[in-house]
């Protein structure tokens, strides 16, 4: 019996060889009775720490006999989809559940040089550990990791080459993680152009597309405030106790600059919030123009984008979202079969 991953205990290369000698494994391929099997695609959206919900989504789908033939993922969605494809979902979940606030900072190799505040080397090394030597074209399912090209704004679908490189490019949040150079192009986070890549899943051969939108639960965000202006509170500034020395003063300056203060957002907050405001608007527009067959919407509104220490809760919410949507998924499968 296969595990939750795409191919159980087989290695990637072993599975690829076995796949090439069998019928009916690829999306839409003919099976012995002469019919085409229903190709199922997942469009896994971005959302930083909320992406741990993808683990629960994948587990619940497989538990109910729904196994994807195609995965198109953006940012953390690409990471979850890629690790599922190489049968490392167990390791990914174990690592996610082990994260604490302190351990998270251990993975963030801050740098004031280069193209991002975080070098990303420590985090990338964990991905390489589980995907070392794996090529996307050798996977047992079709995978597309979505990225954005710097300079042109092109939407890049990474469908071949080293899996680890593709995942690093897809989650390269601008200004936070450095961009990745792949095939002569400098690439950054795919959520800038396609946060929930339904179109990519369809183009890769999926007939039934299930989208997982991690940010659908953002009630109250993105509304219009029609009457607003300045008041006297704007002139008040919270007082800080005096610095005790040169080092203390330097640390406070850096903290204010990057993390902000209780009364003023810092650089990192502004960067990330700007990114997610754009992502929210783009998601709405893209899904309106190219809606999925079924949408799975985990209730993640209370989990912040950097609440990586809340993986257990996110996984559970992902599973619950599938259970709520199971009937529409099965009905869609029946109609399209």
Give residue-wise pLDDT tens across range 23-82: 334 565 544 444 568 999 999 999 888 999 999 999 999 999 999 999 999 999 999 999
> Higher-confidence residue: 9 or 168?
168
**Global pTM value:** 0.79
Mean pLDDT of the chain: 81
Residue 264: the pLDDT is 72
Instruction: Identify whether 75 is a catalytic site residue.
Output: yes
Q: Which of 58-72, 97-111, 177-191 is modeled with the greatest confidence? A: 58-72
| Cα–Cα distance measured from residue 219 to residue 111, given in angstroms and rounded to the nearest whole number | 35
Instruction: Identify whether 90 is a catalytic site residue.
Output: no
CA of 211: how far to CAs of 147, 202, 203, in Å?
18, 11, 14
Pick the catalytic residue from 69, 189, 290, 307. 189
Pick the catalytic residue from 4, 39, 69, 75. 75
Confidence of residue 12 (pLDDT cuts 50, 70, 90): very low
Ranking 152-166, 171-185, 198-212, 310-324 by mean pLDDT, the lowest is 171-185
Ranking 5-14, 162-171, 184-193 by mean pLDDT, the lowest is 5-14
């Amino acid at each position: 019996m296969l595990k939750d991953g795409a191919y159980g205990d087989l290695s990637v290369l072993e599975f690829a060889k076995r796949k090439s000698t069998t019928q009916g494994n690829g999306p839409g391929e003919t099976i012995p009775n002469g019919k085409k099997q229903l190709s199922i695609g997942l469009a896994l959206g971005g959302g930083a720490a909320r992406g741990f919900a993808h683990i629960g989504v994948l587990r619940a789908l497989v538990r109910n006999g729904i196994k994807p033939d195609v995965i198109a993922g953006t940012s953390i969605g690409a990471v979850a989809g890629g690790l599922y494809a190489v049968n490392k979902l167990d390791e990914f979940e174990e690592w996610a559940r082990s994260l604490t606030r302190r351990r998270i900072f251990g993975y963030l190799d801050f740098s004031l040089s280069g193209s991002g505040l975080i070098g990303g080397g420590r985090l990338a090394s964990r991905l390489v550990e589980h995907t070392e030597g794996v090529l996307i074209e050798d996977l047992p399912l079709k995978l597309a990791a979505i990225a954005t090209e710097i300079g042109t704004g092109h939407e890049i679908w990474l469908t071949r080459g080293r899996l680890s490189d593709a995942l690093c490019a897809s989650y390269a949040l601008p200004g936070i993680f450095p961009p990745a150079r792949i095939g002569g192009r400098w690439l950054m986070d795919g959520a800038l152009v396609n946060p929930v890549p339904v179109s990519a899943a369809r183009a890769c051969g999926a007939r039934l597309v299930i989208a997982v939108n991690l940010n659908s639960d953002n009630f109250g965000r993105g509304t219009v405030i029609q009457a607003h202006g300045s008041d006297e509170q704007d002139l008040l500034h919270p007082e800080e106790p005096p610095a005790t020395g040169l080092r203390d003063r330097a640390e406070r300056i850096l903290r204010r600059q990057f993390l902000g203060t209780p009364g003023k957002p810092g650089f990192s907050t502004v960067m990330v919030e700007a990114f997610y405001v754009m992502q929210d608007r783009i998601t709405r527009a893209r899904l309106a123009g190219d809606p999925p067959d079924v949408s799975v919407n985990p209730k993640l509104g209370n989990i912040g984008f950097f609440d990586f220490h809340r993986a257990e809760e996110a996984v559970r919410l992902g599973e619950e979202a599938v259970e709520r949507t199971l009937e529409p998924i099965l009905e869609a499968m029946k109609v399209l079969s």
